[in-house]
């Protein structure tokens, strides 16, 4: 069995354990040793980040050949149109090639935590939310896709990866589960277990600690 940490990565946090520029890293939120990210999230993106202590599981989650769907909620500038959603689902042409078919739908009601700092909104221009499910991982892919169809992304939250869901985790909170390794056969994506705050428990929200005691993360895939 392998251990897997589900972390709600806050905005402005790097998906690594060390940084030479004194920016926030995973070391402030993951006190457990021997865990490394299975994929990444950009510094300005939020939401689900998976970390594991098993190299085989890390590779399986990160490898796009497994076509593990990743669900994102994107707040975009303007009222997203049906035509734009259809284009996103069919695939859009980017500088590095056409994207694979995806799933795209409008979100009429979204309940999310406030972001600090808040997004910059332009006066008299509305915003809207959409859900985009991708089966590949390119650098800043969601942002480039929405911009390509005329709706720039203002805020981006990853809700789920494969069978694992963010659930009720607040920014900075995490919980640990065990899964069969390396095959992905067991998970509790949004079970009732609450996020605890004790570093010694199976689900933690740790107090910040210095980058000096952190370690460097490994493993990467495309950054939305």
Contacts of residue 152, Cβ cutoff 8 Å, sequence gap at least 6: 76, 77, 143, 146
Contacts of residue 163, Cβ cutoff 8 Å, sequence gap at least 6: 184, 187, 189
Q: How far apart are CA 15 and CA 11, in angstroms?
A: 11
Burial of 98 (0-12, 13-18, 19+ CB in 10 A): exposed
Contacts of residue 114, Cβ cutoff 8 Å, sequence gap at least 6: none
Instruction: List the one residue out of 162, 192, 163 whose CA is nearest residue 175.
Output: 192
- Of the listed 12, 19, 42, 54, which one is catalytic? 42
Active site residue 42: yes
Question: Which tokens is 39 given?
Answer: 């994929």
Cβ pair 8, 195 in contact under 8 A:
no
Task: Tell me the sheet residues that pair with 37.
Answer: 51
Number of H helices, E strands in the chain: 3, 11
Active site residues: 42
């Amino acid at each position: 069995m392998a251990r897997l940490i589900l972390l709600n990565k806050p905005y402005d946090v790097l998906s690594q354990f060390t940084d030479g520029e004194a920016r926030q890293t995973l070391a402030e939120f993951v006190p457990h040793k021997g865990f490394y990210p299975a994929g990444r999230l950009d510094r300005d993106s939020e939401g689900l980040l998976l970390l594991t202590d098993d190299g085989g599981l890390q590779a399986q989650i990160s490898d796009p050949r497994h076509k593990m769907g990743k669900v994102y909620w994107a707040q975009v500038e303007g009222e997203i149109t049906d035509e734009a959603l259809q284009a996103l689902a069919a695939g859009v042409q980017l500088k590095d090639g056409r994207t694979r078919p995806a799933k795209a739908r409008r979100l009429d009601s979204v309940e999310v935590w406030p972001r600090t700092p808040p997004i910059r909104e332009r006066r008299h221009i509305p915003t809207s939310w959409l859900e985009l499910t991708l089966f590949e991982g390119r650098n800043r892919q969601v942002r480039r896709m929405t911009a390509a169809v005329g709706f720039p992304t203002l805020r981006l939250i990853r809700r789920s990866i494969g069978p694992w869901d963010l659930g009720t985790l607040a920014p900075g909170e995490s919980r640990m589960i065990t899964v069969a390794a390396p095959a992905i056969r067991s998970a509790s994506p949004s079970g009732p277990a609450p996020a605890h705050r004790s570093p010694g428990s199976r689900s933690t929200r740790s107090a910040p600690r210095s980058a000096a005691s952190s370690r460097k993360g490994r493993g990467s895939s495309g950054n939305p």
